[in-house]
Structure 1
Amino acid sequence: SATMDTNLVIMRFLVNVSRTGGKTETTLIQAGVLKLLMRALESDGMEILTPTVRVLSNLAYVKANGPLLKASGILVAMGKLVRRGKSEAGASLLAAMRNLTACGAVDSTLAEVTIPRMMTIIMQAGDAEDTTCAWVVLRNISLYSSLQPLLYNNGAIKLLVSSLARESDPKLRFHILGMLVNVAGFVAGRYKSFDDEEIEGEASADEVLEGDEIVFQPEVEVDLKDDDGQVQDLRSRAMEYALGEKTFFS
């Protein structure tokens, strides 16, 4: 229909103007763009889903937008999309979930549907990029103490240990180990001794996890389709991040 075609053009335009590294993303949210995104996510049009999810991914790339996104109600629409499966929006949905979980725009309701979906992608061992992105989403979720029980209850420990034993790729092992440290901290706290005195020489859960969020930073992705200069800048930042020279959000 003409209306759908117009909405599709608008959404494709927003993909480009929402990937400026912080120059326009917050302004777009303040101008009410999330209402457009929510309507598009809840529509029956399959073609509009991918650009809509890309816009959301770009908005979530700016860490400061996390509270705005979380308060907007758009997480409910994303939860429904994740529950339906990733086929409609493909890798764009995974990238959006990576950015949302990295900027703090995730709650228990969204995490409840996201965790088993990401674990399924990992266990299917299909596309390598999808698998890596699924690990990053789970690792980002594991940074939030309120969501760690959901990971534990979904069998994350078993998946982590078995994956660490068989996985040889250094980047994947980094994500797996980071998540394992975070979830293990929850387990250690859950089964901590109730004795009044701590065993001499045994570190408490808080001591083990001190500085964890600095070591295992959330990871994000921005839509890079049309701007070669921005691509190069982000690749340089990603390389510095991977080498431990700076955090991705610095």
Structure 2
Amino acid sequence: MLNKIKNFFKKFKDKKLFKQGIKKLDDGYYQEAAEILAELKDSQQVDREMLYFNLAGALIGQDKLAEGEKYLNKAIEIEAEHDFLWATLAEVNILQKKWEAAKKAINKALELEPGKKIYESKKEVICGSEELKENYLKYFKLLKKSIEEQKRENWQKSVGLLRDAVDHYDQTGYVYNQIGAIYNNNLGNKELAAQFFKKAIEREPDNEVFIRNLKQVLKNS
């Protein structure tokens, strides 16, 4: 009975810690997220596949790419049938300019989720010209800079960086959704927010998050 009680509290504590790590990761506090999630590496109380996946994200956010790749591979060892793991592995290989490894990973993601537009776009980068590859890498660096400005609450500067990012690469809806979110949540301009959410949906018509964001802003405008 005593062991059951201990296990219950251990599970509660670890799950709470895991949620804290995810929140830090979502807010762009990559070092803090990595420190929290690393505490759970030996825990049997959390989903290890998702632990490794999110720890990888926190490390990649700090440019610890090889270490992030290691944890992605650990997640894939547990569950190789999740397309998002392979797509993220492709991404980290792009950032390391490991183009052949990136191609293998994105092909696996497409095998698991055929025709997914965002994966097709990623494959175009991987198999594209040197100019396209370099533009994508510039795009990614600008995204990271914009997150740093958001943490400082420099909203206009963050929007400027995001606009620069889509000058280099605009085949996904992510950046447009981010700009829309800033206009909606931080700059108080719902009209502009709606415009950018629509641009995000144009690039990813099936993205439920983008669709929900647009509906919400139109409802409240």
What range describes the TM-score normalised by the shorter chain of this pair? 0.3 to 0.5
Q: TM-score, normalised by structure 1?
A: 0.40
Q: Indicate the structure whose relative CO is greater, using CA pairs within 8 Å and at least 6 residues apart.
A: 1
Q: TM-score, normalised by structure 2?
A: 0.44
The structure carrying a bigger helix percent of its residues is 2
